[in-house]
Structure 1
């Protein structure tokens, strides 16, 4: 059977939302939240205070919801996926805490970051605590396959973050390397969150591979959109300041494409900006104009739609129903954030 690539419709009416996904997993998500609150507790009061600052900060909880929705897609009737969804959220939260320290961020989801309030040392250590909690949950599940998938995802995320750090301020970074970085630091956890549902539901390798492909392609699309809207959105929409990537010297795909298409004069500008020699508000405004005139943002979003279509195509392995529809709309929502 030949797979069909499904088009993404960013301007469809009504706008895509996460509501179908939220509705689908609402009951299961209550159990996940209960587990999260229980496992973030500690007699060391700073740990739940700092972890709670981020966990209660208004995040979409998309990754654990994907675990729950994929389990629903497979008609799984057990409860193992509750702890594993909490595990996925702990991994994600730990990486956010560490990221904010590395990036020196002051704003996340529209609120002050934990490192700004509690300091870098405490933030790093609480991130380590959450990673440790996630591994406790993996071990409690008892599946070596689940442990392999999630532990591999954790180490790959760390590799991706280090690779991104070494690529910072390197204007000659290639598109292939950029895709390797976002596949590691973002897409691998999306993939693992979906894949483990097939393991707990005791499905075959083909089903596991289909869910892994769905999550991985959704994760790449999600990060591509994030990197595009860093230059064209605002703090209210994004929950962080516009141009954060620019000021931090992150060479994301919009910059890679704009640099490739630039005149020699504009390439000099990009080299100065990415190196940190000229990355103020005036330079940011010029960067935004160059990104628009070179269609670098448009083409980044086109690539996001491509990966989104691949994610939807991976769902062709499964029967139609509320779970498949909700997962499809989740992909469309991830793309529509840019419009």
Structure 2
């Protein structure tokens, strides 16, 4: 296995597709172009973990224009708890790539040249990307895409996951070769692209019991959707202050406790949803689906929102 820790290899049958890495036990992130050989209606892949274990995976979301793809792990109980702790990149950070195409290839590493630049992907989408300089001038970095970019531990900052490697920049004098300038998508951009990691999605799954009084229309909507098969939501172990929004608010816009359709909710409903989410956070932590170190901050924020609503204020 060329990777280590939370880095994985993706396969379709015996064909290698590319690299990826575990965001949680339930989700793997990769570059969308790593899945280019999948047939249009094909969604199942094999996820090869660092210890050699192969587990089933299902492509649940592809964002071609941003070169990102999310894969649901179908057997999360087989995934060891080796999840990364994320952070924001800073210019000058030393970085390393945990994945390499084969055991005969070198590891990549270098420094972050720019932590957030507007960048147009090959797929045509405009994203906020990290611009990286690799010290290894290989001329071709094919096979490294989809792997994790990790900050190297320094005296000031600890090791942390910074983002996912997606593209190499061509040498302008020799376009058939690649320069040692690479682009990666930081975690904040990843979180903003996938609804699976937004508070609204979590709360829609964690509907309160039918005994909780709700406005007419909302109860009917719940009855129509309660039987739908919805995968269990999980939260990515990123420090609370680094979640989308930049101010530590839960992702999803304003950090408020919304209803299933984004509308404000009554105090009783907010309390029910808050209690359900607090209970779920505890359970996910015990099951290893969320970084235990992040649970306390999330619990405090949820409780504060519910208290503010009960006192007649607005959730923050």
TM-score by length of 1: 0.23
> Which one has a larger percent helix, Structure 1 or Structure 2?
1
Structure with the largest fraction of strand: 2
